Amino acid sequence: MKRRAHFALLAALPWLLAGPAFAQDAVLPVSAAPEGVAPQAVVPEPHRGPPATLRFGGMTFVASHGDRTEILVEARNMLVPPGAQTASLEEVHLVMNDPESGRRAFEMTCDQGALELETSNFRAEGNVEGRTADGRRIFTSWLRYDSDRDVITTDAPVRIVDGRHRLKGRGFVYHLKDSRFVLKGGASIVQE
C-alpha cells in the first residue's frame, strides 16, 4: 500500500483564496470617489518578482500507510520556498508510530527541523529530546530520520537515559523496527 501525506494548513486558507498572483493581502481597498461616482475596488498589480516563500503557522503534517498514521509532525511555523521539496520547521514535535501495530515507536521535540515532503525524511536540530517506545530518553544537538532504512542517526554527542543507566557516546544508530541502539565511538555507561 502506498504511503499518503497530507497537510492541515488552515492558516494558509486566506492566502490560497487570494491566489498566488498577489504579493500582499487579499483585501482589496476601496478608492475614494467624488460625490455621485460609485467607488471602485483598487486591484493591486500582480506580483512580478520571484515567488514568495510560503510561511504557515500551526502546521501539522501526517504520513500514513493504509489507515494507520506512521508519522505526525507538528510545528509552530513552516517555511516552504517556491518549488522546494523540503519544508523548514520551527518548534517541532514529531511522533512516529509502528505501521503494523499503530503503537508509538518514537517521539521527539526540537527547535527546528527540515522535512522532505516526498519521502518524510526528517532532520531535527537544536535541543533535540526524544523518547523511545520502551521509555529511553535521548538528548543530542541533531538527528536524522531515514525512511528508506527506518533508522534514526546522529554523529553528534548523545546522552541516553535508560532507567538507572546513563549512556554517552559520539552518535548512534537507532533501528525503529526492533528498538535497537548502536552507539558509535567513545561510548560510556554510568549506573546510578
pLDDT digits (tens, 9 = 90+) for 106-127: 999 999 999 998 888 999 999 9
**Cα–Cα separations (whole angstroms), residue 164 to 184, 191, 192:** 21, 6, 5
- pLDDT value of residue 35: 58
Angstrom distance (rounded) from CA 71 to CA 77:
18
Angstrom distance (rounded) from CA 94 to CA 164:
26
Angstrom distance (rounded) from CA 123 to CA 144:
4
The long-range contacts involving 55-58, CB below 8 angstroms and separated by at least 24 positions, are: 55/79, 56/9, 56/11, 56/12, 56/80, 57/11, 58/10, 58/11
Q: Domain boundaries in the chain? A: 3-12+53-191
Residue labelled with grid coordinates 522532505: 116
Q: Which residues, including other chains, have CB under 8 Å from residue 153's CB and lie 6 or more apart?
A: 143, 144, 146, 171, 172, 173, 174
Percent of the chain with pLDDT over 90: 37
- pLDDT value of residue 5: 46
Stronger pLDDT, 156 or 46, i.e. the higher one: 156
pLDDT (average), residues 57-68: 82
Q: How many CB atoms lie within 10 A of CB 120?
A: 19
Grid cell locating 119: 519521502
Angstrom distance (rounded) from CA 68 to CA 51:
35
At 91, the pLDDT band (50, 70, 90 cuts) reads very high
- pLDDT value of residue 3: 46
Grid cell locating 4: 499518503
CATH class of 3-12+53-191: mainly beta
- pLDDT value of residue 7: 44
Percent of the chain with pLDDT over 70: 73
**Plot region of 17 (φ>0 → left; ψ -120 to 50 → alpha; else → beta):** alpha
Stronger pLDDT, 6 or 98, i.e. the higher one: 98
Q: How many CB atoms lie within 10 A of CB 96?
A: 25
Whole-prediction pTM value? Answer: 0.71
Angstrom distance (rounded) from CA 94 to CA 191:
29
